[in-house]
């Protein structure tokens, strides 16, 4: 019986990280919009844009890691490994 791989992209922790990053991007976008249109504050807008950029980059980094892990796991299963 094979053990599940902890780097599997279907892992709950991995999915939770992606969900948190998605929510961070949305929150940053809302902050940028509120800072620009409601508060008329350049500083709040810049913080929101920075949050979107950083959270988006981390999100795509984890997506890349997940795809690499899936490819590796598919190759291991095809070769008969665990």
48 found inside a domain: yes
8 found inside a domain: no
74 found inside a domain: no
**Dist. CA 12–CA 20, nearest whole Å:** 12
Total structural domains within the chain: 1
Q: Is 11 helix (H, G, I), strand (E, B) or coil?
A: coil
Q: Is 71 helix (H, G, I), strand (E, B) or coil?
A: helix
**Dist. CA 32–CA 42, nearest whole Å:** 9
Structural domain boundaries, residue 31: 13-69
47 found inside a domain: yes
Residue 1: per-residue pLDDT: 41
19 found inside a domain: yes
Residue 30: per-residue pLDDT: 98
39 found inside a domain: yes
**Dist. CA 12–CA 51, nearest whole Å:** 24
Regarding pTM above 0.75, the answer is yes
1 found inside a domain: no
Q: If you average pLDDT over every residue of the chain, what do you get?
A: 88
Residue 79: per-residue pLDDT: 72
Instruction: List pLDDT tens digits, range 16-50.
Output: 999 999 999 999 999 999 999 999 999 999 999 99
Instruction: List pLDDT tens digits, range 47-63.
Output: 999 999 999 999 999 99
């Amino acid at each position: 019986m094979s053990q599940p791989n902890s780097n599997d992209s279907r892992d709950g922790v991995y999915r939770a990280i992606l969900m948190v990053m998605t929510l961070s991007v949305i929150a940053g976008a809302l902050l940028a919009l509120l800072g620009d249109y409601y508060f008329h504050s350049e500083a709040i807008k810049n913080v929101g844009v920075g949050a979107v950029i950083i959270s988006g980059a981390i999100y795509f980094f984890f997506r890349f890691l997940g795809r690499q892990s899936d490819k590796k796991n598919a190759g291991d299963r095809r070769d008969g490994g665990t």
